[in-house]
Chain A
Amino acid sequence: MATQGGIVFQEKVSRLLRGQNGKPVLKPNRALVLKDAVANRKPKKGEASCITEMSVLMACWKQNNFVDTLCSNEINSFYMCVKKAQADAKNKAGQSNIQGRRLPPKQATALLKRYPNLCKEI
């Protein structure tokens, strides 16, 4: 299943393994075969959401001695903000909208597992 220029690549690899003057350049301890999985990336640490809403709520609490009935507006706006942030996080996790962007590692692994590298004929 060699692509265009695949033969040239194979020859280069065999030259590296054989080596010049009997000294091989590569001494692989594992077979030179691609895995059906991609390494996981460290998830980017985001920012804390709804900090302003929380600080407004806490200021209201401080003023009114933590009575909830007097701060009901702030509480509601805080809940709305939290809901929105959760919905945003859910949406962001699911999609790879733009074509130019790289697939997230989990999706890449799933795709590779469906079309694995065939190393045996059976």
Chain B
Amino acid sequence: MSSSCRSPHRLPSLSAKNRKIRLQFTQTQQNSIKRLEILFLVRWSRYNPYYLEPEVSKEAYSRPATELSAEEKEQRELKTLRPIKAATSGVSSSVFDDPVISKFINMMMEHGNKVLAREIMTQTLENIKKKQVEKYHKASEGEREAIECNPYTIFHQALENCKPVVGLASIQKGGKYYQVPIPLTDNRRRFLAMKWIITECRDNKHRRTHMYEKLSQELLVAFGKEGNVMKKKYELHKMAEANRAYAHYRWW
């Protein structure tokens, strides 16, 4: 509890994160009574493992109890009893919220400039749509059905095409380091695909093109299973295949 002081000290500003209640006393009262400051923190970045993850999608709640399996019923029971983490500002229950796209935006973000990263992403999707619609209108009747116009499906398919199947790990055996082919987790594969796309766009394109332009070109090319990111993936696969003799050096 803070002691009473004659000079007023600066209090941290009110924010959505922590609501503060400050009881004000007259000067005479302040001189004799300690000033109470009660702070209610509601959002942390590190939670006790006891806390559960929030469920943001509306569909999960609209399902009637009859549809759920025993595990899901148990899960619901648990959620009524345990505390739940506060949802971050990056997730929303809107239909347009996509966790993969949010992850990609976060990976593109630099110096915490989420506004810029989101802007680039929306411009990229718009650009992809423009190009595909142009192609659609220029194509003949037979070809029109094959052209995909939805930028979200293009993004997901391109990412799926860029994901490597096996990765390499540097394992030490007998004093030497060997590149051993290992299976990768889904998160690791998604991360590698996104990282390759972003670095490819940042490094290997002409400097005077906008990032959204570079990204849309790269995504469309990856959708067609060509381009530098696919080449990188194939090179990784080839290295893994070349080193398949060392696969036994793994112990997990």
Q: Could you tell me which A residues sit within 8 Å of B by CB distance?
A: 45-51, 54-55, 57-58, 61-62, 66, 68, 75, 78, 82, 85-86, 89
Minimal Cβ-Cβ distance residue in B for A44:
B251
- Asked if residues A57 and B238 are in contact (CB atoms below 8 Å), the reply is no
Q: Are A61 and B251 in contact (CB under 8 A)?
A: no
Contact A82 B183 (CB under 8 A): yes
A48-B250, A66-B234, A89-B252 known; A55 vs B244 contact (CB < 8 Å): yes
Q: B166 at the A/B interface (Cβ < 8 Å)?
A: yes
Taking a contact as CB atoms under 8 Å apart, the answer to whether A75 and B250 are in contact is no
**Chain B interface residue count, Cβ-Cβ cutoff 8 angstroms:** 17
List the A residue with the shortest CB-CB distance to B165. Answer: A75
Q: Count A-B pairs with CB separation below 8 Å.
A: 43
Instruction: Sample 12 A-B pairs with CB under 8 A, ordered by A number.
Output: A45-B251, A48-B247, A48-B248, A48-B250, A51-B248, A54-B183, A54-B244, A57-B166, A58-B181, A58-B241, A66-B241, A85-B183
**Closest CB in chain B relative to A94 CB, distance in Å:** 15
CB proximity to A under 8 Å, residues B208-252 = 234, 237-238, 240-241, 244, 247-252
Supply 15 further A-B pairs (C-beta < 8 A) apart from A48-B250, A54-B166: A45-B251, A48-B247, A48-B251, A48-B252, A49-B183, A51-B248, A54-B244, A55-B244, A57-B165, A58-B241, A61-B241, A62-B241, A78-B165, A82-B183, A85-B183
Main secondary structure of the interface of A (DSSP, over half): helix
Would you call A58 and B244 a contact (CB within 8 A)? yes
Do B247 and A66 touch across chains, with their CB atoms under 8 A apart? no
A51 with B237: in contact, given A46-B252, A78-B165, A89-B252 (CB under 8 Å)?
no
CA distance A68 to B160 in the complex (A): 11
A50-B183, A54-B166, A57-B165 known; A66-B238 Cβ under 8 A: yes
